[in-house]
A and B are shown apart, each in its own frame.
Chain A
Amino acid sequence: MKRWLWTVVFLGVAAGGVWWAVQALAGDEQKVRRCFSRLGELIDKREGESLILAAARGQALGNLFSDDFEARTEVADLSGHFTPEEISAHAVRARSRFSRLELRFADVQARVLPGGREAEAAAVATLSGRPQGGGDFGTETRLLRCRLRKGDDGHWRFVDAELSQGLAR
């Protein structure tokens, strides 16, 4: 094989190694972004999900939130202060109403504040799913602005979140 082709292969492998190292040594901003992907994974539901898995996901979901999480939404029932246990219970109940659910985040912007213990983040959340009774829930898109705090265990947790349509009505 020609030398230049070996060079291309070497550069590809080297680039992959650098990418892996960056992922492994991710900074706090990367960890904050991962909270969103983790939240999406835990909300997602496929048809035929077992009760045990649903409960485990609800439990894990609560661990992403701080002890006194504040939500601000257009819906009064979903606004207020919640404990992780309340969030778990809400999530299990809400997910049980759907046979399929998908939450995706796009344009995740994260900024760690001076001091390194708090971060501000914004993202576009897209929720789609199919209710248990049939039909189609459609797709809802909202702008999510939130604050996260780093715990003593090094994990980032959501402290507050505001969901809006993105335009001042």
Chain B
Amino acid sequence: MRSGWRHFLWPEWNRRFLVRLAVVAAAAWLLFSQFLLPLRIRGASMEPAYHDGGVNLCFRGRYWFGTPRRFDVVAVRLAGTRVMLLKRVLALPGETVAFQHGRLLVDGQPVTEPQPVLAGGDWELPPRRVAPGRLFVAGDNRSMPIEQHVLGEAELERVAGAPVW
């Protein structure tokens, strides 16, 4: 048993071990560069659901066979997939979205959001129609002034995936 542990922790560097090591490294690279991208969350715009400094994985296959739905949390690419925006989908293509006294309105009707949001910013956003092929996204932290919050429309093709948890 003891020799087994020793073998596990300090294996013999033979051809078989190097092949196994190469296969595991290639599989890990493929998994974590193409399917599950490691994320480190920076900023407080998605509080209270996602905290500054938190870690997560972006599942790139989440929308391979469908499109994002309202209130999904999505990762939006900027120039590539190393830095992305983590936002919540609030309105779909063709819908009209607005904020009145901090309350979300979609197509003129107040919408109750299922997820907890940080309120207090009293956001005001005049009604705007979401362009075809785009989503309207924003963070859950509405306690900050709307001018300081990164929100707006993102092209569907720029949705890189969704966080795993």
Bound form: Cα–Cα A123–B150 in Å: 18
Interface assignment of A108: CB less than 8 Å from any CB of chain B:
yes
Bound form: Cα–Cα A165–B79 in Å: 11
Closest residue of chain B to A143, judged by CB? B78
Residues of B with Cβ closer than 8 Å to A?
Answer: 15, 18, 42, 76, 78-83, 85, 87, 131, 134, 137, 150-154
Closest residue of chain B to A122, judged by CB? B79
10 contacts between A and B (CB under 8 A): A106-B79, A106-B82, A108-B79, A122-B79, A123-B79, A124-B82, A166-B76, A167-B153, A168-B131, A168-B152
Contacts of B79 on A, CB cut-off 8 Å? 106-109, 122-124, 143-144
User: Count the A residues whose beta carbon is within 8 Å of the partner chain — how many?
Assistant: 19
Bound form: Cα–Cα A126–B40 in Å: 15
Closest residue of chain A to B135, judged by CB? A167
Contact check, B80 vs A109: say whether CB atoms are below 8 A apart.
Answer: yes
Q: Chain A 78-102 against B: per-residue CB contact (8 Å), 1 yes, 0 no?
A: 0000000000000000000000000
Contacts of A8 on B, CB cut-off 8 Å? 18
Contacts of B78 on A, CB cut-off 8 Å? 107, 124, 143, 166
Contact check, A4 vs B15: say whether CB atoms are below 8 A apart.
Answer: yes
A167's partner among B15, B18, B82, B150 (CB-CB below 8 A) is B150
Q: Chain A 4-28 against B: per-residue CB contact (8 Å), 1 yes, 0 no?
A: 1000100000000000000000000
Bound form: Cα–Cα A48–B137 in Å: 42
Contacts of B82 on A, CB cut-off 8 Å? 106-107, 124
Contacts of B83 on A, CB cut-off 8 Å? 106-107, 124, 126, 141
A166/B80 contact (C-beta < 8 A), A4-B15, A8-B18, A139-B42 known: no
Closest residue of chain A to B80, judged by CB? A107
B137's partner among A106, A124, A167 (CB-CB below 8 A) is A167
B80's partner among A124, A126, A167 (CB-CB below 8 A) is A124
User: Distance (Å) between the CB of B59 and the closest chain A CB?
Assistant: 19
Bound form: Cα–Cα A144–B78 in Å: 9
Bound form: Cα–Cα A8–B83 in Å: 35
Besides A167-B152, A168-B153, 5 more A-B contacts (Cβ < 8 Å) are A123-B79, A124-B82, A124-B83, A141-B42, A167-B151
Contact check, B42 vs A167: say whether CB atoms are below 8 A apart.
Answer: no
Q: Chain A 150-169 against B: per-residue CB contact (8 Å), 1 yes, 0 no?
A: 00000000000000011111
Q: Chain A 106-117 against B: per-residue CB contact (8 Å), 1 yes, 0 no?
A: 111100000000
Contact check, A169 vs B134: say whether CB atoms are below 8 A apart.
Answer: no
B76's partner among A4, A123, A167 (CB-CB below 8 A) is A167
Contacts of B134 on A, CB cut-off 8 Å? 168
Contacts of A139 on B, CB cut-off 8 Å? 42
Closest residue of chain B to A145, judged by CB? B79
User: Distance (Å) between the CB of A66 and the closest chain B CB?
Assistant: 22
